[in-house]
Structure 1
Amino acid sequence: MPARVEKTISIGTLSDRTGVAVSALRYYETQNLLFPERNSGGQRRFLRADIRRVSFILIAQTFGFSIAQIKEQLDRLPQGRTPTKRDWSRISTHFKSHLDEKIAALESMRDKLDGCIGCGCLSLQSCALYNPADKAATKGTGPRYLMGDRSQDI
């Protein structure tokens, strides 16, 4: 006879299953990323689906998303019921577009690292061609060409 699977789990179980410290789970709750219920003894009880929710938070943080950005995505999921595959598919579509933009930006930076990056140092001979008289500085501080500005636009 199979063991009965509880509908809710404790904060300790959620911590064990996700590898996230209990204190971090409490923090996620204060940031409205998790919405545990309380049992009659006042203990937090999480849906089993919160394992997936916390895993999503971890993945999003790994990709450099802020808590606010993660919350914005999680707010697309239903409250009070376990998200379906369709719910997760909808959220992942938006998430993927942000990742595609980041990947494109990283590839562009990687490909431009060996040339003039518009930083204003003017130490390469090519800088005299791509950034004469440090015109890139008119767009602001930092490596302007790596940040997306183009030499022909300056």
Structure 2
Amino acid sequence: MPKCDNCDKLIAKKSTILECNTCSKTVHATQACTRLTSKQLAALRNTENLEWTCEVCRRETPRQRSFVIQEEEEEDDEELLLTQGTDSGSNAMKKLLSDISFEVKKAVKKEIGSVNEALSSCCQKMDGIMDTLATISGKNKRTGKQEYIFNKPK
């Protein structure tokens, strides 16, 4: 049985493990051995082809450097985003989840807006129906009283 490179304990066959994509260190898939949050561990478990990098390799990996270069020839405000180095998997995943979350919120707000419009339209129609019913009901009461008066024996 292999040993965890972080805690030096044996790794059971049925244990969940993580292998560093850079140095191939093997550790228990726990918060203590990986120094990841429970949400990050859950994301690793639930996502295929997601690579994990140990803390030592993460420290040694150069950080992403981004800058924007505007092209002088074009009058448009187009921007070219250049990146140097590699982005760590967790930062890329956080950015992706943030983008997806934003898009979902935007779509839900749009759908809720259309539902509110439809509901408002239905309420207006219902108010019109209630007014019509009240008018008809008032006419029936007046007509009924008049018939009653006309049908009285003289």
Normalised by the length of structure 1, the TM-score is 0.33
> Which structure is higher in strand share?
2
Normalised by the length of structure 2, the TM-score is 0.33
Q: Return the index of the structure with the highest Cα Rg.
A: 2
Q: Which has the higher contact order (CA 8 A, sep 6+)?
A: 1
